[in-house]
A and B are shown apart, each in its own frame.
Chain A
Amino acid sequence: MSTPTTPHAPHAQHTPYSVRAEGLRKRYGDKRALDGFDLAVRAGTVHGLLGPNGAGKTTAVRVLATLVRLDGGSATVAGIDVAADPRGVRRRIGLAGQYAAVDEILSGRQNLEMFGRLFHLGGRRARLRAAELLERFDLVAAADLTAGDYSGGMRRRLDLAASMILAPDVLFLDEPTTGLDPRGRGEVWDSVRALVAGGTTVLLTTQYLDEADKLASRITVIDQGRAIADDTPDGLKSTVGGDRLEVVAADPADLAAVTEAVARVADADAAPERDMAERRVHAPVTDRVAALTEVARALQDQGVTVEDIGLRRPSLDDVFLRLTGHGAGPSRTEPASEPGTGGGTEAVEVAA
């Protein structure tokens, strides 16, 4: 991907961070949408910004994309200060997702050509770039159909293509898969991975934990306008105690024996937890495989019948619950469908 070279604002190569935010503050009336929010996104990575509805994710993205002015704090994007040179920032970013739409009356091609001209590419280069992006985002077959008739996944891909017209250094994706069916979600994920392979830095907001887990190499958890955790997905999971060994006894009478066996392999400072109703005993373990084999052998020797035994890695849901004291928004089984974005299942799939 070629990097646009502009006469103004030298590219900040000396810092490994593409996005830096310190102490961002933004209030709407009495509500503090951002309340001292910090963020550092390494160049060339996908960084997840994870939080429930109303946590401040979208406000953070709108501030960094120069759509909203800050009340306090400072931020640089691609090395440029968002408050001092918003136009310079706009030349280097792309914005896609929830609140940056494509034109529903124009065709896909007309959309990309129009945005290309408004990115000051001129008519000829705008046409060439549109053709290139249609190919790259697998929209050639639907290029001349009305964008409003696209499926949810196709529309988000067109949205991504429009945000990639200048091959920006930094791409903001605001809940890019909200309201999409699994197929549409997979299409968007593939596109994001391809962009990052091409060198783009992506800041991805999501309320879906598995999305952050799959795409992001680092995750910032935001709640009530503040970053409450910042780590790798694995690092975050280990904050809730790492892997756990879990045994379900067939007979409640064996629970004492099971607890004893699990306690022998559990981490030194952690006693096994017991759930009588489900006949379940679990405890954090460090040497996972050894612990599993030892407990299995011990219980077999004692003649205890086990209904289930296994190792369980904590999910990001556990992390979220631990960090915020509440869940992470809508569950994956009932994705929140967004009015106006067109559910992928209802829209007609036009692409081959």
Chain B
Amino acid sequence: MSTVDLSAGPVRGRFHWAVADCLNVVRRDLTHYRRRPSYIAWQLGFPIISVLLYGYVFGGAMKPPGGEGGGSYLDFLMPGMFVMTMAFGFMNTATTVVSDASKGVIDRFRSMPMAPSAVVAGRGVTDLVVACAELTILVATALVMGWRSNGGFGATVGAFGLLLLLRFSLIWVGVWLGLLLPSPEAAGSLFAVAFPFTMISSIFVPPATMPGWLGTIAAWNPISSTGTAARDLFGYPMPGGTGWIEQHAGLMALLWPLAITAVFLPLAVRRFQNLSR
């Protein structure tokens, strides 16, 4: 009954289809943002409001840590906001994955002769593209408020590279959680965990100002390393941290995401494969 030739096309390798299927999943995911641009607004709402609140409401009263060099609280705050936006990204990943899983879209993909890896890999690529868009919007907001990078071009690019590396590692946490959680509503409650997780860090205040034990936890928070390293690269180094972890922020900003990926990528893949249990 079909007038369309439905036969298999030219025989191509597994790798070809893995890439082609992945790109088609990315295309689908990005079409979601095109049809519902408000999704980006929701995801960016919290960081942008935080930037405005902290920058304008507290900004005048807050003395930037190590501000003798002439930096403002905004200079201290903005890299932290970039990090926070990247860190919150795992919730977006988890929410979209759990929504696809609970509605049966993932099952339909799995019943089709497409590359199974494309389902997860496509999500990852989409999230990185969206993260770039979010950073662009956030940087534009920061520029309007008067923030500038003091670092050279290479250092500035390096700082954004570290931010995206953190986001990349958290994709796998999000996929794993998305396949673990029972419903999109449950994914919504992740915020209750994510919010304190980002507060107990060096994003808003230096850990040295916290009680000793809490300061240690905050200093060892993976996002603190990315934050400190980004501040260094943007040319607003944060003095005061004397611990090993603070002295080696650049190294740890690379190692932490790699460690997170090493743990959660296999967990996410296993969880995906266990769908057929």
Contact = CB atoms under 8 A, between A and B. Distances in A.
A8 B143 CA distance: 58
A6 B111 contact: no
Given A105-B35, A117-B24, A167 B112 contact: no
A1 B7 contact: no
Contacts of A136: 1
Contacts of B36: 105
Given A87-B113, A119-B112, A4 B24 contact: no
Interface residues of A, number: 46
Given A6-B8, A67-B107, A340-B103, A132 B3 contact: yes
A102 B36 CA distance: 17
Given A67-B276, A69-B276, A129 B4 contact: yes
Nearest to B11: A7
B261 to A, nearest CB: 27
B31 interface: yes
Contacts of A165: 6
A340 B99 CA distance: 11
Interface string B1-27: 111111111010000010011001101
A1 B9 contact: no
Given A68-B276, A101-B104, A114-B24, A125 B4 contact: yes
B7 A5 contact: yes
A69 B264 CA distance: 24
A104 B102 CA distance: 13
A120 B6 contact: no
Given A4-B7, A106-B28, A120 B104 contact: no
B103 A91 contact: no
Contact of A2 (B6, B105, B118): B6
Interface in A106-141: 106, 110, 114-115, 117-122, 125, 128-129, 132, 136
Nearest to B33: A105
Interface in B86-124: 102-105, 107-114, 118
A162 interface: yes
A315 interface: no
Give the secondary structure class of A's interface.
Answer: loop
B111 A93 contact: yes
A167 B32 contact: no
A1 B3 CA distance: 8
A106 B105 CA distance: 12
Nearest to B104: A101
A120 B28 CA distance: 15
A271 to B, nearest CB: 52
Contacts of A90: 111-113
A191 interface: no
For the complex of A and B, the 8 pairs showing the least CB-CB separation, nearest first, are: A101-B104, A90-B113, A1-B1, A100-B108, A95-B111, A99-B104, A101-B103, A129-B4
Given A2-B1, A120-B8, 17 more contacts: A1-B2, A6-B7, A66-B110, A91-B8, A95-B111, A99-B107, A100-B108, A102-B108, A105-B32, A106-B32, A115-B108, A118-B24, A118-B109, A119-B113, A125-B6, A166-B6, A340-B102
